[in-house]
Amino acid sequence: MKIAVAKGDGIGPEIMDAVLTIFKAGKVDLDYEVVDMGKWVFDKGFSNGMTPEAQHTIESLGILFKGPMETPKGKGVKSVNVTARKTWNTYANKRVFQTLHGVDTVFSKSGIPIDITIVRENIEDTYGGIEHMLTHDVALSRRFITRPGSLQVIKYAFEMARKKGAKRITCGHKANIMKLTDGLFLECFQEVAKEYPDLKADDIIVDDLAMKLVVRPQEFDVVVLTNLQGDIISDLCAGLVGGLGFAPSANIGDHISIFEAVHGTAPDIAGKNIANPTALLLSGIAMLRHLGFMKDAAVIENALLYTLESGVHTGDFGDKNIPAVDTPAFSETIISNLGKQPRLNAKPVLPNMPVTPTMFKLNRNAMMVSKEISPEKIVGVDMFIESEDQPLLIAKKCQRHAGVKFKLVGISNRGTQVWPTGSMYTNLVNLYNVRFESLDDTPLNQQDVLGLYVSLSGDFKICSSELLLMWGNKRAYSLAQGQ
């Protein structure tokens, strides 16, 4: 079996070489094709951080094992890490955080074991990176949460939890505030949970989750979250077990999967051969299990755990009374411990069952669409306008444009209603949302909305607009604070 390998930037080549050396010593039956990705590829003029040949190779092989990569700052380019995850629809980011004996934390010293798996939605949310300056003072980021995308990652999380033998799966969310976006994610979680009655499924508001993870992390098992919240909570959990140097990451897709260390490139120590390869090694071990190399994964992980228990460490962690070793010495110690069992948390050595690579060539993009449960109806429109006028004056101008099909029902600023009711203590910026709804429930179409747009543009710069939709009796838009 052949996989694609991208060594990365900074300390990437050093730690990747260390891991592949351990794999070779463990007689892992894999071949590697090194591909060109990272900052130096950006610098050569490839705006997505990878060469066309690299993209072709990865899409042909289906597995990418990658080191940390840097995105050039201030050049208007997207992160190669995020681009890779999104391009190949690796919709589930799985990170396992476990107590590692030899890596001292507040919890390990207190005898509190941690074994938490975070599953983070990996494609959508604010990581779409769709942003606009609407006025010179107001920036907009669009947050997309979709039903098909949510169902993909949540179904993966439940299947993974069942195979892991988990007792509990928790949905972290902010649906109390973001009732449509996080509300949709939570709704999908509750829908999928009905198919897994053997698992205890519950949900928790994400800020409460953050507090409880710090206070009682042992209560959590599998947690699934949206992209940005999952990113933050993942790093929080990394802190519980010793930091990003011990945080493996798997990005799972239906056709292509990426295994990587999530820490940075550490340019300050690059080339010195003193970096800690543990996170990348743990990611590689997760990759081996994904590919069916169960025995090899267990033998190598047990050797790593034995090494950590023995007090061997690189300079970023461990007992300061024991001299630190460099990267090659750390990996050589792990190799010398192959076949040994750690005193605690030894992994069962199961037989290898390598999967047969499925060679495929897609000729069209998959379209993910769920079935509408009720007919769609346009009931109004939100027009986002630039103005420094007071709300009452804006209302008077807008009412002149309502015509015979629309009525002005509200004006808000930064999500807070300022007309027809409001407070003089509400600070304003130069972007208002003026909401028009159908007069007397008259049916509306897009032509009606465009007519209002043209009329209103005589008085205001219209920065953006959104249709107000309903499906049956279900309102598909939020109300302003105070409305």
- The yes-or-no verdict on residue 112 having pLDDT over 70 is yes
**Per-residue pLDDT band at 410 (split at 50, 70, 90):** very high
The token duo for 297 is: 């994964």
Any bridge partners for residue 205, and if so which?
A: 173
pLDDT at 99 over 80: yes
User: Cα 132 vs. chain centroid, distance in angstroms?
Assistant: 21
CA 360 to chain CA centroid, nearest Å: 26
- The whole-number pLDDT of residue 17 equals 97
pLDDT at residue 442 above 90? Answer: no
Which of residues 360 and 427 earns the better pLDDT score?
A: 427
**Position 74 pLDDT exceeds 70:** no
Percentage of the residues of the chain whose pLDDT score is greater than 70: 98
User: Is a pLDDT exceeding 80 seen at residue 274?
Assistant: yes
234/256 Cα distance (integer angstroms): 22
Rounded mean pLDDT, 316-331: 94
Report the C-alpha gap between 361 and 256 in whole angstroms: 12
| pLDDT value at residue 40 | 82
Contact between 436 and 406 (Cβ < 8 Å): yes
Average pLDDT value for the chain: 94
Task: Using alpha carbons only, give the angle 234, 236, 242 rounded to the nearest 5 degrees.
Answer: 100
SS3 453: helix
Of the pLDDT bands very low, low, confident and very high (cuts 50, 70, 90), residue 347 is: very high
Helix (H, G, I), strand (E, B) or coil at 54: helix
Give the largest CA-CA distance in the chain.
Answer: 83
Neighbour count for residue 353 (Cβ, 10 Å):
10
Distance CA 241, CA 264 (A): 17
Please name the helix (run of DSSP H) or strand (run of DSSP E) that holds residue 160, with its range, or none. helix 147-164
CA nearest neighbour of 251 among 368, 88, 125: 88
The DSSP output letter for 70 is P
Rounded CA Rg of the chain: 26
Alpha helices by DSSP H, listed for 324-462, are: 327-336, 391-399, 446-456
- Average of pLDDT values for 261-290? 95
pLDDT for 89 beyond 90: yes
Consecutive H or E run containing 466:
strand 461-471
Instruction: Say if residue 224's pLDDT is above 70.
Output: yes
pLDDT at 152: 97
Can you give the pLDDT at residue 262? 87
Close Cβ partners of 182 (under 8 Å, ≥ 6 residues apart) = 145, 173, 174, 175, 226
State the average pLDDT over residues 184-189.
98
Confidence check: pLDDT of 163 > 70: yes
Burial (CB count <10 Å: 0-12, 13-18, 19+), residue 315: middle
For residue 286, the number of C-alpha atoms closer than 13 Å in the C-beta half-sphere is: 28
Q: Which residue has the higher pLDDT, 67 or 40?
A: 67
Q: Is the pLDDT of residue 70 over 90?
A: no
Q: Is the pLDDT of residue 110 over 80?
A: yes
* 290: pLDDT strictly greater than 70: yes
Predicted pLDDT of residue 383: 98
Tokens 């894999």, residue? 30
Q: How far is CA 381 from CA 296, 448, 467, in A?
A: 59, 10, 4
Statement: residue 34 has pLDDT above 70: yes
| 23-32, 60-69, 355-364, 436-445: the lowest-pLDDT one | 355-364
> Helix 294-309 vs helix 327-336: angle between axes, to the nearest 10 degrees?
110
**The token pair that represents 80 in the structure block:** 């190669």
The stretch 190-197 carries a mean pLDDT of 97
Asked which of 21-25, 39-43, 97-101, 293-297 is least confident by mean pLDDT, the reply is 39-43
CA angle at residue 237 from 231 to 241, to 5 degrees? Answer: 140
| Cα–Cα distance measured from residue 438 to residue 378, given in angstroms and rounded to the nearest whole number | 8
Q: Where are the beta strands (DSSP E) in 308-445?
A: 376-386, 406-413, 416-419, 431-438
Which tens digit of pLDDT belongs to each residue from 370-381?
A: 988 889 999 999
Q: Which domains does the chain have, with CATH numbers?
A: 1-89+259-366 (3.40.718.10), 104-241 (3.40.718.10), 376-475 (3.30.70.1570)
Q: 290 with 250: CB under 8 angstroms?
A: yes
Say how far apart CA 112 and CA 76 lie, in whole Å: 45
Q: Minimum mean pLDDT among 79-83, 304-308, 408-412: which range? A: 79-83
pLDDT in tens, 351-376: 999 887 666 678 888 899 998 888 99
pLDDT surpassing 90 at residue 219: yes
Spatial separation of the C-alpha atoms in residues 244 and 211, rounded to whole Å: 19
Helix orientation angle between 12-25 and 278-290, rounded to the nearest 10 degrees? 50
